[in-house]
Homo-oligomer: A and B are copies of this chain.
């Protein structure tokens, strides 16, 4: 057992991380600093203070990180139209690097020599927490209790609570979700339980943020979104902060049954896992961002972004936000967003986002050229012949030399 004096724990205030506080104190005979963040998970963070105090914690950090989360993590990611494996909007992945960063900052402030977290040894989150921590403070030690301890069943955990006088909120326990869940301002995720059979449909009462499409209003909702440099800065003309934008879009999306997703994804640790996600606001941003780019981005820039996106998504999913390769890609992505300004009108209706209009002072859409009507010479159709002939030349030569494509 390495000698650790002080450890900063990502502390939710829930039962599992409360057990971890005690277990760290006991196992490592070290001081525990708790860090609890509001990243929009929808639960009060204030009660974490009293709980931590009750566990004997002396240094307690409780931060509201919602604006930083959206401004410095969520928005930069959406500039790339990021989707993992064609479907997943990376709602869990994108929150981890912010937690890592704060854990390390607090370790620096408090002189801690280790960090700890409550993520399982089977998942991606341990990787994301730890890669970030190592990248920002290479000498840090990491304690991952779920990989170390023997409290691996609910029973042993309960025994441990009883033995150590950790209060278990049984009323809460009863309504405990059968799913493993994670939430932040971008999404809420569900894993485990009946979802472990990928053929079984998710039960409707699992979903928490959105109504079902069937229960959404019968009238569509129209929303205007204003972009500046690729980020949404106003909704229906009202200028809002990043976190407020996402909160409002979550409400609008959730009310219209938008953003439910049910997928099987490939974890970085090598297994497939089934997850259900609610990302109401994110689903709207993705569609709208593509739409504003469609009139403001150059074609080749757009295609280059599309070709880089899967790599960028993989980097974030795998936990390499804090890496030089993410930084390099981000530089390019951000550079491309300079002209991504303007308005997109979307229609939200029973589970779907429909883009119905887009406009921009930076539009590259040229009606004079594009028109089916008389274009007054803006485009010379005869140019097309040479364009086609030379583009075909390599294949004409090949065919004339006997190459056969059929």
| With A196-B370, A335-B327, A355-B262 as contacts: A396 and B306 at CB distance below 8 Å | no
Contact of A270 among B197, B303, B394 (CB under 8 A): B394
Could you tell me the distance in whole angstroms from the C-beta of A239 to the nearest C-beta in chain B?
Answer: 21
A325 within 8 A of B: yes
A237 within 8 A of B: no
Contact of A272 among B294, B301, B399 (CB under 8 A): B294
A324 and B298 form a contact (CB under 8 A):
yes
Residue in A146, A202, A406 with the greatest tally of chain B CB atoms within 10 Å: A406
A391 and B387 form a contact (CB under 8 A):
yes
A397 within 8 A of B: yes
Chain B residues, CB < 8 A from A298: 323-325, 394-395, 398
Residue interface bits A370-393, CB-to-B below 8 A is 1, else 0: 111010000111111111111111
At the interface with chain B, which of A10-18, A28-36, A134-142? A134-142
Residue in A122, A379, A392 with the greatest tally of chain B CB atoms within 10 Å: A392
Chain B residues, CB < 8 A from A339: 403
Chain B residues, CB < 8 A from A274: 365, 370
A177 within 8 A of B: no
Contact of A304 among B130, B322, B325, B374 (CB under 8 A): B325
B199 and A374 form a contact (CB under 8 A):
no
Complex CA gap A273/B366 in Å reads 8
Complex CA gap A269/B191 in Å reads 31
A310 within 8 A of B: yes
Interface residue tally for chain A (C-beta within 8 Å): 129
A172 within 8 A of B: no
A328 and B336 form a contact (CB under 8 A):
yes
Could you tell me the distance in whole angstroms from the C-beta of A33 to the nearest C-beta in chain B?
Answer: 21
Residue interface bits A157-189, CB-to-B below 8 A is 1, else 0: 000000000000000000000001000000000
B398 and A324 form a contact (CB under 8 A):
yes
Chain B residues, CB < 8 A from A364: 272, 394, 397-398, 401, 403
Contact of A264 among B127, B272, B358, B397 (CB under 8 A): B358
A263 within 8 A of B: yes
B387 and A380 form a contact (CB under 8 A):
no
CB under 8 Å from chain B, chain A span 173-219: 180, 191-193, 196-202, 213-214, 218
Complex CA gap A134/B131 in Å reads 26
Chain B residues, CB < 8 A from A349: 213-214, 350-351
Residue pairs across A and B with Cβ atoms less than 8 A apart, 6 shown, are A199-B345, A200-B357, A262-B356, A264-B294, A271-B369, A272-B366
Binding site for B on A (CB under 8 A): 81, 85-87, 101, 120-122, 126-127, 130-131, 134-139, 142, 144, 146-147, 152-153, 180, 191-193, 196-202, 213-214, 218, 220, 260, 262-266, 269-274, 290-291, 294-295, 298-304, 306-307, 310-311, 314, 320, 322-325, 327-329, 331-332, 335-336, 339, 343, 345, 349-352, 354-359, 362-367, 369-372, 374, 379-401, 403, 405-406
